[in-house]
A and B are shown apart, each in its own frame.
Chain A
Amino acid sequence: MGSANCQVKNTGGQLRVELFGKLNAQSVREVTSSVSGELKDATEIIFVTIGVTDCAEDARPELVKLQQLVAAQKKRSAWVDDRSQFRGIALWVMHLANDQAAKATATMEQALKWLSSTETRESFASQRAMGTGR
């Protein structure tokens, strides 16, 4: 299931959304449409952007809307990419979507670890920085 720029797969409640190619506003709206139908049956979401080659400026507010949809359903999510640029875009998206249950990670292992935890992004970071967290 999916659109020209994504594949969506639900495995035991974990929704894996793989994005690829050039993202623009229209293609992200199509991704959102594909994801929204699957969200209620999912417990958590992993967005994989490793195959994305470009993310146009007009795609970014649409990604925020996608993340807001995830946050509204109180689903935990992780964005995986081994490029800093796309982790930065993911962080921007989740920050503007005001979703503290989302995190940008470099590896799938980190993503799974995040999804299995109950931490919120900023308090997790601040506690570890101040030496009061794990």
Chain B
Amino acid sequence: MSRELSFAERTFLNIERKLAVMVRGYHITFDEELVRQRGIMGFFRWAAQTDKVTNELISTFGETRFHLIAGFASLWNGCDYCGYGHLLALNLCIYRDTEQLFAIDEQEVHQMLRLRDTELLAFLDERLGKSHPDFVKLIRRQHDLRVADGPLQGEDKMLVKSIALYEWINECSITVDAPSPPLGPVAKNGELRKKYDAARAEFRKAKAAAQVTQQHP
């Protein structure tokens, strides 16, 4: 089904991964599949082209909303790796800016994947309707643009671009599984990651304790 990488390709990946961690703070694990499918030069072309579109999306939506739309564009395609990585990056951005935990934990990606699309939209309403109604509106619009054609207005053109970009990226990222690193520049902020992880762990512990109390009062 899939070919073995050549010695040169494996060597390239070892170097590329080290450089990626130094420059971006993380490396993607589906780089292997990208090289397998496209070769080394094809990998560079893919990286340059997807980076260009990513930067356009960040310019339009800003870093935080970019991770929101990137995460859900991936979730609609069933890619847990990118869904998790962008949701984690979104969580980090929100924690950095507000010192508050976002209402959706990155570990809930698998639960969201199992939902029917209408159920997932209802889940978003329930979790984010009060705290982030603008986020819900954006994701609902992205979903609607994904499933049906219609007149485009406002940010629609860029939302359509986000859908296409992640259909392109998920073609190879579908071969790897979550958990993934935060898929964005925020990955370089190690101190933030430590604080976020500690706060999230505390929250999960309290949530688990509350569930036990509810089941065995």
Q: How far is the CA of A88 from the CA of B170 in the complex (A)?
A: 9
Are B78 and A128 in contact, with the CB atoms below 8 A? Answer: no
Asked if A131 is at the interface of the complex by the 8 Å CB criterion, the answer is yes
Asked if A33 is at the interface of the complex by the 8 Å CB criterion, the answer is no
Are A89 and B147 in contact, with the CB atoms below 8 A? Answer: no
Residues of B within 8 A of A82 (CB): 116-118
Q: How far is the CA of A61 from the CA of B1 in the complex (A)?
A: 9
Q: How far is the CA of A106 from the CA of B168 in the complex (A)?
A: 17
Are A88 and B116 in contact, with the CB atoms below 8 A? Answer: no
Are A125 and B117 in contact, with the CB atoms below 8 A? Answer: no
Q: How far is the CA of A96 from the CA of B2 in the complex (A)?
A: 7
Residues of B within 8 A of A83 (CB): 113-117
Asked if B5 is at the interface of the complex by the 8 Å CB criterion, the answer is no
B interface residues, tally (CB under 8 Å):
35
Asked if A87 is at the interface of the complex by the 8 Å CB criterion, the answer is yes
Are B78 and A104 in contact, with the CB atoms below 8 A? Answer: yes
Q: How far is the CA of A87 from the CA of B114 in the complex (A)?
A: 10
Asked if A28 is at the interface of the complex by the 8 Å CB criterion, the answer is no
Are A87 and B165 in contact, with the CB atoms below 8 A? Answer: no
Asked if B211 is at the interface of the complex by the 8 Å CB criterion, the answer is no
Q: Name the residue of chain A whose CB is nearest to the CB of B76.
A: A84
Are A106 and B117 in contact, with the CB atoms below 8 A? Answer: yes
State which of B2, B120, B147, B171 has its C-beta within 8 Å of the C-beta of A107.
B147
Q: How far is the CA of A130 from the CA of B164 in the complex (A)?
A: 9
Asked if A66 is at the interface of the complex by the 8 Å CB criterion, the answer is no
A interface residues, tally (CB under 8 Å):
32
Are A91 and B171 in contact, with the CB atoms below 8 A? Answer: yes
Residues of B within 8 A of A92 (CB): 174-175
Are B1 and A129 in contact, with the CB atoms below 8 A? Answer: no
Q: How far is the CA of A44 from the CA of B49 in the complex (A)?
A: 32
How near does chain B come to A72, taking the closest CB pair, in angstroms?
Answer: 14
Are B80 and A122 in contact, with the CB atoms below 8 A? Answer: no
Give B176-214 interface residues, CB cut-off 8 Å to A.
Answer: none
Are A121 and B171 in contact, with the CB atoms below 8 A? Answer: yes
Are B78 and A125 in contact, with the CB atoms below 8 A? Answer: no
Q: How far is the CA of A83 from the CA of B123 in the complex (A)?
A: 14
Known: A91-B78, A106-B147, A109-B148. A85 touches B164 (CB 8 A): no
Residues of B within 8 A of A64 (CB): 1
Are B147 and A110 in contact, with the CB atoms below 8 A? Answer: yes
State which of A84, A97, A109 has its C-beta within 8 Å of the C-beta of B117.
A84
Are B168 and A85 in contact, with the CB atoms below 8 A? Answer: no
State which of B118, B120, B163 has its C-beta within 8 Å of the C-beta of A84.
B120
How near does chain B come to A124, taking the closest CB pair, in angstroms?
Answer: 8
Residues of B within 8 A of A96 (CB): 1-2, 175
Known: A95-B175, A106-B147, A121-B171. A87 touches B161 (CB 8 A): no
Q: How far is the CA of A122 from the CA of B171 in the complex (A)?
A: 7
Q: Name the residue of chain B whose CB is nearest to the CB of A65.
A: B1
Known: A84-B112, A122-B171, A125-B171. A89 touches B78 (CB 8 A): yes
Asked if B160 is at the interface of the complex by the 8 Å CB criterion, the answer is yes
Give 21 CB contacts A-B under 8 Å. A64-B1, A82-B116, A83-B115, A84-B113, A84-B115, A85-B113, A87-B76, A87-B78, A88-B174, A91-B77, A95-B171, A95-B172, A104-B77, A109-B147, A128-B161, A128-B163, A129-B50, A129-B53, A129-B167, A131-B161, A133-B164
